[in-house]
Amino acid sequence: MKFIIGSDHGGYALKEQVRGILESLGYAVEDVGCHGEDSVDYPRFGKEVAARVASGEFPRGCLICGSGVGMSIMANRFQGVRAALCNDLYTAILSRRHNNANILVMGGRLIGSELAKEIVTTWLRTPFEGGRHERRVAQLDNL
């Protein structure tokens, strides 16, 4: 499966780790950057990942900045994107079960690498429950 990822400098180290996790699980990963720890502006990377998920080019993506907040704000401006800021495991589970999240957002400065690994692998394997949540998720795009 295809997967698109991006970060700013605050999320760079964790993005590198996430790319490795995804590749080890067999995903074909497109990394839109950034590609180092020099300071960059997160909206540019958030926009590219969100636009390409919104267009259907990628079914799922991952965005990481320092806190995860800026990337979440950017990504959720795109219709069809359901970006979930998950800095804990239970939010990661619920964001898939109830919200059918299609972009996982994390704060690279807030969580350690072991927790991040658990969050990513759990988020990937947790299915959407559908049912009553199907109707609610459909309402998200009915502005």
- Contacts with ligand RB5, residue ranges (CB under 6 A): 8, 10, 42, 65-67, 69-70
63-72 CB burial, b ≥16 within 10 A, e <16:
bbbbbbebbb
Contacts of 34 (CB under 8 A, 6+ apart): 6, 7, 8, 9, 12, 40, 45
Say how many C-beta atoms besides its own lie within 10 A of residue 105's C-beta.
29
Inter-residue contact 66 to 109 (CB < 8 Å): yes
Nearer to ligand RB5, 49 or 124 (CB): 49
The minimum distance between CB 24 and ligand RB5, in angstroms, equals 26
Q: Show which residues are catalytic.
A: 65, 98
CB of 44 to ligand RB5, least distance (A): 12
Which CB sits closer to ligand RB5, 85 or 124?
85
CB neighbour list of residue 55: distance below 8 Å, 6 or more residues apart: none
Whose Cβ is closer to ligand RB5: residue 13's or residue 115's? Answer: 13
- Closest approach, Cβ 9 to ligand RB5, in A, equals 7
Q: Which residue is nearest to ligand RB5 (CB)?
A: 70
